[in-house]
């Protein structure tokens, strides 16, 4: 296959050449990644390169389906050379047979990338027990002590506090209108809504249903694949891309800008307490009626995130 490659000397950082065995499988992906990381070429910092390399491994090179899970698939070839007509005819016959076997195949997402399934399943089991014996009793106590309206108000205030994450993500994706809407929500809820405890923005049509953004979605918007599915201890479902994005989100959170460690701890503790019941509700919704709760949660998470990137 003829493929456009980068000019000699423009292949990107040298360490990416380690990935050369994958070049046969991911030529376009590797070229795109090399282009993306060209800016790193002048850097000599090993730690920086090492970090990027690990991220790259997590995001892209675990197994072939990692590309299948990409939200922005590579454009297929529109035409084939005449010499490949036989191949084309055979492919179209195979496609029609496949369509007869599975008439809804065109609506299905590609197979999920679950390169770490063994480890993920163990973590999933641990989380299940953790939710059962620790998180659920805590949630019961929390909802008993704190009346639901107060809990809801706290949740809204924390959501308001996360506005910088959403605004930055919108801007990084070039979604100026959405960034403006998020800013409008922040101003309105912080003032009239007393720091976000109330949500007057819900009464404004243009600010009512603004899809939330984060850095994981931003990476997805840039074309970076989801990478392997991950189950994080306690936190639950994630992916390599979302886990990296979450680290960035943490730095954008205003609580991290405050030098007083007490404020950071208080914010994190409140967030954990407020999110806990929601997390359990989502866990139950995705697993309660599933034949295999692990797969049920995995598919729900990956599809939900892919849809969030498309919004």
Partner 1 sequence: MPLPSRYLPYAAVVVCIVAPCAAIAASDSSPEATLTKGLADLLRLVKSKNNNDPVELAHRVRPTIERFFNTESLTRKALGPGWKEFTPAQQKRAVELFSEMIIRSYTSRFDPNSDVDVQFAKSTELGNGRKEVPASARYQGNSVALAYRVENIGPEGWRVYDVVIEGVSLASNYRAQFDAIRQKGGPEAVLHAMEDKIK
Interface positions with partner 1 (CB under 8 A): 98, 101-109, 112, 208-209, 214, 216-217, 232, 235-238, 242, 245-246, 275, 278-279, 281-282, 284-286, 288-292, 295-296, 298-301, 303-308, 310
Q: In terms of CB distance, is 224 or 286 closer to partner 1? A: 286
Instruction: Quote the strand ranges of the chain, DSSP E.
Output: 229-232, 236-239
CB of 73 to partner 1, least distance (A): 17
Residue 61 C-beta: closest distance to partner 1, Å: 23
Contact partners, residue 29, CB within 8 Å, separation at least 6: 60, 67, 74, 225
Nearest-approach distance from CB 119 to partner 1, in angstroms: 17
Nearer to partner 1 (CB atom), residue 34 or residue 189 = 189
Name the phi and psi angles at 253, rounded to 5: -75, 130
**Do 185 and 210 contact (CB within 8 A), yes or no?**
yes
Closer residue to partner 1 (CB): 37 or 305: 305
Which residue, 117 or 171, is less far from partner 1 as judged by CB? 117
Which residue lies nearer to partner 1 by CB, 48 or 119?
119
CB of 291 to partner 1, least distance (A): 5
For 69, which DSSP code? T
3-state helix, strand, coil in the chain (%, to 5): 70, 5, 30
8-state DSSP, 28: H
Indicate the length of the chain as a whole number: 311
Question: Is the separation of the CB atoms in 170 and 211 below 8 Å?
Answer: no
Rg (the chain; Cα; Å): 23
Residue 306 beta carbon to partner 1: minimum distance, rounded to whole angstroms:
7
Minimal distance in Å, beta carbon 209 to partner 1? 6
Given a contact cutoff of 8 angstroms between Cβ atoms, the answer to whether 113 and 227 are in contact is: yes
Sign of CA dihedral 205, 209, 215, 217: negative
Q: How far out from the chain centre does Cα 171 lie?
A: 17
* Shortest separation between residue 7's beta carbon and partner 1, angstroms: 39
| Closest CB 80 distance from partner 1, rounded Å | 23
**Rounded alpha-carbon distances, angstroms, from residue 195 to 161, 182, 278:** 8, 15, 21
**Is the Cβ of residue 11 or residue 213 nearer to partner 1 in the bound state?**
213
> What letter would DSSP give residue 176?
H
Helix 46-60 and helix 27-36: axis angle, to 10°? 150
- Pick between residue 55 and residue 169 the one whose CB is nearest to partner 1: 169
CB nearer to partner 1: pick between 5 and 122:
122
């Amino acid at each position: 296959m003829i493929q456009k490659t980068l000019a000699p000397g423009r292949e990107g950082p040298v360490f990416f050449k380690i990935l050369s065995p994958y070049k046969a499988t991911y030529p376009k992906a590797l070229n795109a990644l090399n282009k993306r990381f060209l800016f790193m070429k002048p850097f000599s910092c090993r730690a920086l390169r090492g970090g990027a390399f690990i991220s790259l491994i997590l995001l892209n090179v675990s197994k072939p389906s990692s590309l299948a899970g990409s939200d922005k698939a590579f454009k297929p070839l529109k035409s084939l050379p005449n010499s490949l007509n036989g191949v084309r005819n055979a492919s179209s016959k195979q496609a029609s047979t496949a369509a007869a076997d599975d008439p809804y195949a065109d609506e299905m997402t590609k197979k999920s990338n679950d390169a770490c399934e063994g480890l993920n399943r163990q973590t999933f089991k641990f989380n299940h027990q953790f939710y059962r014996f620790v998180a659920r009793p805590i949630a019961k106590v929390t909802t008993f002590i704190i009346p639901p309206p107060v809990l809801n108000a706290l949740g809204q205030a924390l959501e308001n506090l996360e506005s910088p994450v959403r605004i930055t993500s919108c801007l990084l994706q070039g979604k100026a209108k959405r960034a403006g809407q998020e800013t409008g929500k922040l101003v309105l809820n912080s003032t009239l809504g007393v720091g976000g405890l109330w949500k007057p923005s819900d009464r404004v049509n243009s600010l009512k249903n603004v899809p939330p953004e984060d850095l994981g979605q931003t990476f997805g918007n840039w074309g970076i694949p989801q990478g392997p599915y991950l189950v994080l201890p306690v936190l639950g479902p994630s992916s390599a891309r979302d886990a990296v994005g979450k680290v960035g989100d943490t730095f954008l959170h205003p609580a991290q800008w405050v030098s007083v460690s007490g404020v950071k701890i208080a914010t994190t503790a409140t967030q954990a307490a407020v999110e806990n019941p929601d997390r359990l509700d989502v866990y139950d919704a995705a697993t309660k009626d599933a034949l295999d709760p692990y797969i049920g949660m995995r598919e729900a998470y990956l599809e939900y995130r892919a849809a969030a990137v498309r919004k």
